[in-house]
Structure 1
Amino acid sequence: MNFTRKLVPAIAAAALSSSAAVQAVDLEVIHWWTSGGEQAAVTVFADEFEASTDHNWIDAAIAGGSAARGAALQRMLGGDPPGAAQFNISRQFEELAEAGMLLDLSPLAEQEGWYDIIRPSSILEVCEFEGGIYCLPVNIHSWQWAWASIPAFEQAGVDLPGTLNEFIEVAPALQEAGITPFAIGGEGWQINGAARVVLLSQLGKEGYLRFYRDKDPEVAMGPEMAAAIEIFQNMKQYTDDGSANRNWNDTTNLVITHQAGLQIMGDWARGEFAMAGMEPGVDYACLAGPSEDPYLDTGGDVFVFPKQSDPEIEAAQFELASMMLSPRVQALFNNAKGSLPVRDDVDMSIADVCMQQGLEILADPDRIIPPDSMYITEDTRGEMDDLWLEVWNNPNMGVENIQQRFANILANAD
């Protein structure tokens, strides 16, 4: 289907100016932010939207990303689309744009200069499709973090680790002190996310790009890949028996309450520590990488705005998109969420030391890597995820055999 940029309907264009007066509408927003920290963050969006417009934010929180995306998709296909829906920075919504089911945000992007203020540019490029812009990035999330209980390591009499190899060395001391060394939930996405963090820590940026972008089987057979698999397998013995089916924020709470030493989880976990009143550097540590040479991927969340038949709803959609990207809201939302803002002119004086560390890394283009979802299809990702889960659940798998299976996946990847 060929898309061309079209002028926004008159009422929507008027909604973009401060002098416009439009009828109040109820705008339903589907998202999956249900934990304490996530709810605090999405409340920023809701409160600011209702305070700055005459419209109402109708909250439609659905636990779990896949469930929320599935519900939004069903609503769109069924002819009852929500006003906005959360997706990830990925190719998840490309088919919706191709089918003409999403609002083209290009007029707003041009008016507000999104190409000048959103960084890195790659996260906006994900939203592009045949000359239009069909999503709005609202944050930058990275998986490349570990969260450590400072009192737990002090109780065990060992130093905080800076790398995963160092963690493996001190994990027995935590265990002997009655502390679960490695906290993780049994949900597949938690295990696979941790696996990718371990992989990047050993491959580095060059190896990561050869693995995901170039799909080079030789990388899978190399010593760095072997080291990543060995670390991943070793970490399993330092988990607790209650990890099966435990959700991520309950797992984070084990670190917050100093029952566990370390959790690998994306920077959204910082919101849970903030909600608990924890102080970074005193109660917990945020370990980038965790590596001496840390990188951050530029994943995160976007919102799509399904096409509507009512021009007043469309006008409200443009107002919501504009509000989400405003400097004030970007600062408030991302500080609550634990993520980094998508624009580089935001006053982040309220940022804590963990966010400041993330911003410092993000300021160096060489420290940024695209999310692997930009290079591989959902089918290839599924094959890799299934293999990582098998490795996690079967400690008897040989490293060389695992490497060969990854090499085979890469050799046959799209």
Structure 2
Amino acid sequence: MNAFKISRRALSVALAAATLCGSAFAGEVEVLHWWTAGGEAKAAQALAATLKAKGHSWKDFAVAGGGGDSAMTVLKSRVVSGNAPAAAQIKGPSLQEWAKEGVLTNLDDVAKAEKWDSLLPGPIANGLKHKGHYIAAPVNVHRVNWLWVNPEAFKKAGAKVPTTWPEFFAAAEALKKAGIVPVAHGGQNWQDFTTFESVALGVGGTEFYKKALVQLDPATLQSAKMKEVLETFKKIKGYTDKNSPGRDWNLTTAMVIRGEAGMQLMGDWAKGEFVAAGKTPGKDFECVAAPGTAKAFTYNVDSFAMFQLKNADNIKAQRDLASTLMSPAFQELFNLNKGSIPVRTGLNLDKFDACAKASAKDFGDTAKSGGLVPSIAHGMAVPSAAQGAIQDVISQFWNSDKATAADTMKKLVSAAKVR
């Protein structure tokens, strides 16, 4: 009898321990991402800690390199083998491509409980849905159409910070005469394309941008306005330096930081370089909308697609992950590290700098006015195959002295049909 009682007691203790373990690690969440450096890595660690605090185990699936290309290669092999992670860093039209494969899960329960529809601007929310159902959770918004300026360089040149393209070229000419590289540009195709989309938005306006670079309308791609866009874009090259080809974007930003160059057209991730160098916005550098785009906002949203799982505990962990990504605490923490702004509206931005506050205001204003548009250069506007083909055409035009706007427009129409 005593032996039996001891056995029962031991069993009770074991069951209690198992219960505690179950509550400590209710489910496992495996997350594929490429946040492997600097502030991004810190944010990933904070996300892992938050999930662990909710009783789940975190399985880090970080794949560095290639701006996500390497990660997507690994993800495809995992999904094909029937071993998908709980979540993967996927954005833009690529979300729809994965959803059509029938491998993503429905997040409407989380989204409805936490009122995502009222917290996210319509264009952003729609991009996270497939056939009206949420399939991904967003973490941030990058503004792409920024112009970064070194005020000391402008002062030396007697130049005015531009708000229009004629003012941009006037400033560039003044900087050139002062012996300063007018425009810092890294000659890589994605940087060419980033510059091009800001020119298209500034010269053509939001409706032109939507028709040409979101809807890929053939008539707009061959219009007189597109010819003006291409010629304005090509004119910028004359104000870049001979070492531009192949240069990484952060090294290009460093030119502006040091005053070797006067300005750079680049997304808000450039701000991280200025801040890391101990520079203060509004004093050591200025962030202004790219010429002609003050009332528009090209967005790049990082998000996590959620894959279908079978284990109930892991599904619960996955739901908690989606909830955490949209939580005010994580939105603040991540974006303070990343240089972007919270995608969730209505948050207190007291801890954010002047550039972020300006970006957040413009994000809200353009969401209401219709000036909020997806970045084609950063995978938010069109399928990846068409994006790559159009990007190649734009870089060919930039790099060739013989390429004409007329021929390039024809090539753009053909590239837009690539699927």
Report the secondary structure of 2:287's partner residue: strand
State how far apart, in whole Å, the 1-side matches of 2:43 and 2:199 are.
28
After superposition, the C-alpha distances for 1:117-143 in whole angstroms (9 at most, x for unaligned) are 2x2122222222245321111112232
Corresponding residue for residue 329 of structure 1: 330
Match of 2:58 among 35, 56, 67: 56
After superposition, the C-alpha distances for 1:85-120 in whole angstroms (9 at most, x for unaligned) are 1112x1213243233322322221122121122x21
- 1:43 deviates by 4.5
CA contact (8 A) 1:327 1:345 kept: no
CA 1:113–1:235: 2 relative to 1, 3 Å: same
State how far apart, in whole Å, the 2-side matches of 1:23 and 1:50 are.
8
State how far apart, in whole Å, the 2-side matches of 1:95 and 1:406 are.
23
- 1:349 deviates by 1.4
- 1:239 deviates by 2.1
Letter in 1 for 2:326: L
Corresponding residue for residue 369 of structure 1: 373
CA 1:252–1:75: 2 relative to 1, 3 Å: farther
State how far apart, in whole Å, the 1-side matches of 2:307 and 2:111 are.
17
Provide structure 2 residue ranges, at least 5 long, that are not aligned to the other structure: 1-21
CA contact (8 A) 1:22 1:312 kept: no
- 1:25 deviates by 5.6
Report the secondary structure of 1:56's partner residue: strand
Q: CA RMSD in A?
A: 2.7
Once the two structures are overlaid, the 10-residue window that deviates more, 101-110 or 209-218, is 209-218
Match of 2:384 among 360, 378, 384: 378
Corresponding residue for residue 398 of structure 1: 404
CA 1:145–1:399: 2 relative to 1, 3 Å: same
Letter in 2 for 1:21: S
Report the secondary structure of 1:294's partner residue: coil
CA contact (8 A) 2:30 2:86 kept: yes
- 1:54 deviates by 4.9
Pair 1:113-2:115 in alignment: yes
Match of 2:106 among 97, 104, 107: 104
Letter in 1 for 2:333: L
State how far apart, in whole Å, the 1-side matches of 2:381 and 2:333 are.
32
Q: Based on CA coordinates, which of the two structures has the bigger radius of gyration?
A: 2
CA 1:186–1:82: 2 relative to 1, 3 Å: farther
Corresponding residue for residue 256 of structure 2: 255
Q: How does 1:234-253 map to 2 (within 5 A)?
A: 234-253=235-254
Report the secondary structure of 2:267's partner residue: coil
Corresponding residue for residue 186 of structure 1: 187
CA contact (8 A) 2:27 2:315 kept: no
Match of 2:86 among 79, 83, 105: 83
CA contact (8 A) 2:142 2:300 kept: yes
TM-score by length of 2: 0.83
State how far apart, in whole Å, the 1-side matches of 2:37 and 2:168 are.
28
CA 1:83–1:379: 2 relative to 1, 3 Å: closer
State how far apart, in whole Å, the 2-side matches of 1:216 and 1:95 are.
21
Corresponding residue for residue 199 of structure 2: 198
Q: How does 1:197-346 map to 2 (within 5 A)?
A: 197-291=198-292, 293-346=294-347
TM-score by length of 1: 0.84
State how far apart, in whole Å, the 2-side matches of 1:41 and 1:269 are.
18
Report the secondary structure of 1:298's partner residue: strand
CA contact (8 A) 1:49 1:57 kept: no
- 1:198 deviates by 0.9
CA contact (8 A) 1:49 1:56 kept: yes
Pair 1:74-2:80 in alignment: no
State how far apart, in whole Å, the 2-side matches of 1:270 and 1:192 are.
19
Provide structure 1 residue ranges, at least 5 long, that are not aligned to the other structure: 1-19
Corresponding residue for residue 152 of structure 1: 153
CA contact (8 A) 1:192 1:385 kept: yes
State how far apart, in whole Å, the 2-side matches of 1:48 and 1:276 are.
30
CA contact (8 A) 2:88 2:305 kept: yes
CA contact (8 A) 1:146 1:286 kept: yes
State how far apart, in whole Å, the 2-side matches of 1:131 and 1:166 are.
44
State how far apart, in whole Å, the 1-side matches of 2:87 and 2:414 are.
39
- 1:330 deviates by 1.1
> What number of residue pairs does the alignment pair up?
392
After superposition, the C-alpha distances for 1:339-365 in whole angstroms (9 at most, x for unaligned) are 222221211111211111112212222
CA 1:243–1:80: 2 relative to 1, 3 Å: farther
- 1:47 deviates by 4.6
State how far apart, in whole Å, the 2-side matches of 1:35 and 1:238 are.
32
Corresponding residue for residue 354 of structure 1: 355
CA contact (8 A) 1:328 1:346 kept: no
CA 1:219–1:273: 2 relative to 1, 3 Å: same
Corresponding residue for residue 387 of structure 1: 393
After superposition, the C-alpha distances for 1:258-292 in whole angstroms (9 at most, x for unaligned) are 22222211122223323333211111111113326
